[in-house]
């Protein structure tokens, strides 16, 4: 069950700042979930299983982890779905594919190398929904989330409604070992190492909160709450240039207002009935479009928020990636990337 959502006042006061963003490469991309850059070259993974390079405005497919056909819900497990993407110390890309696992991709040659396969159980648990990852500066450790050992990405709404528990894992690129660091997380999603690399932040989407797991120092192996009871459902989290964090939220928990997720959180019988009668696509239509990006300080307080009520410019925002004074907004469903000039908001 969830607490009453925070009031949208102060720095969370609704605005239309996200509508100042511009759409780039419209209808040339399908669901660019996560975005990274090497210099001014952008990379993203898309819903049709591709890892894409955008250089001087030109779009080029550099790799695929799965294989076609792609395009329908049934195709996803074989097509693959690259979600979280990061740049390693040797300018290779580390990619979390929801269906295949963790991969390293050479952006020059397109060569893909499997690091962790979803076919291999980890401590007796099956990886069903590998979601996001964060990499140490030396490239030795990769921390990643498995959002569910039961539901696949294509059934993410069942995962949201059921609230099953899963975890945070660590892959050591030298020893090739995978360890489970945290369990019992509700829809663990975006992950981000702190600038000092002493802790990892993990977004718990269905609990609207961020947990902190200590990976070094006196607190190593311990965990605590970083931010709880957030105004929306957090997806990915990335560093901001101020030393804090950008958190993208694809759905709002309005207060004042009505939040479907909050309403259903303790009403299991209604959830069962809804999913017996309606498809996931139909249920999605009942969730109002509302995009929200917040910037957190290094201690987890809210610094500012950018809103797009009704998702007019960008809907279903999944990530905010800062580069060179701009915020690049990924979306797991939109056919474009949005770019927001931070000096103009």
Model confidence at 152, pLDDT cuts 50, 70, 90, reads very low
- At residue 258, the pLDDT reads 78
The structure's pTM equals 0.92
Distance, in Å, from the CA atom of 232 to the CA atom of 210, rounded to the nearest integer, reads: 12
DSSP code, position 316: S
Q: Which fold has domain 10-341?
A: Neuraminidase (2.120.10)
> For the range 275-280, what are the long-range contacts, defined as Cβ-Cβ under 8 Å and sequence gap of 24 or more?
275/158, 275/161, 280/155, 280/157, 280/158
Calpha distance 220→200 (Å, rounded): 11
Examine the pLDDT at 79 and tell me if it is beyond 60: yes
Note the pLDDT of residue 287: 72
Average pLDDT score over the chain: 90
Q: Is pLDDT of 154 > 60?
A: no
- The residue ranking higher by pLDDT, 307 or 315, is 307
Mean pLDDT check: name the lowest of 62-76, 115-129, 286-300, 321-335.
115-129
pLDDT-derived band at 276 (thresholds 50, 70, 90) equals confident
Mean pLDDT of 73-80: 89
The domain segmentation of the chain, as residue ranges, is: 10-341
């Amino acid at each position: 069950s969830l607490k009453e959502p925070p009031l949208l006042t102060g720095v969370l006061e609704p605005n239309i700042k996200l509508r100042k963003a511009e759409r780039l490469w419209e209808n040339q991309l399908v669901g660019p979930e996560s975005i990274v850059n090497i210099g001014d070259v952008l990379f993203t993974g898309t819903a049709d299983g591709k890892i894409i390079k955008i250089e001087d405005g030109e779009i080029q497919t550099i790799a695929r982890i799965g294989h076609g056909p792609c395009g329908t819900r049934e195709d996803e497990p074989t097509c693959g779905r690259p979600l979280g993407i990061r740049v390693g110390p040797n300018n290779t890309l580390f990619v979390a594919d929801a269906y295949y696992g963790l991969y390293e991709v050479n952006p020059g040659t397109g060569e893909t190398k499997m690091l962790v396969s979803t076919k291999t159980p980890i401590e007796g648990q099956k990886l069903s929904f590998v979601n996001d990852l964060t990499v140490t500066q030396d490239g030795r450790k990769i921390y990643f989330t498995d959002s569910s050992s039961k539901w696949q990405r294509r059934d993410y709404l069942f995962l949201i409604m059921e609230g099953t528990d899963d975890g945070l894992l660590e892959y050591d690129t030298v020893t090739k070992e995978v360890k489970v660091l945290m369990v019992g997380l509700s829809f663990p999603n975006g992950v981000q190492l702190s600038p000092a690399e002493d802790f990892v932040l993990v977004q718990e989407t269905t609990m609207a909160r961020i947990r902190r797991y200590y990976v070094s120092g006196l607190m190593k192996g311990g965990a605590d709450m970083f931010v709880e009871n957030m105004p929306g459902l957090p997806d990915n989290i990335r560093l901001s240039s101020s030393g804090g964090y950008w958190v993208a939220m694809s759905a709002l928990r309005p207060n004042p207002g009505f939040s479907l997720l909050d309403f259903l959180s303790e009403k299991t019988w209604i959830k069962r009935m809804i999913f017996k009668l309606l498809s996931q696509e139909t249920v999605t239509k009942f969730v109002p479009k509302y995009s929200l990006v917040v910037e957190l300080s290094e201690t987890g307080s809210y610094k500012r928020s950018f809103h797009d009520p009704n998702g007019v410019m960008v809907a279903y925002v999944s990530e905010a990636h800062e580069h060179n004074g701009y915020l690049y907004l990924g979306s797991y469903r939109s056919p474009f990337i949005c770019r927001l000039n931070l000096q103009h908001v």
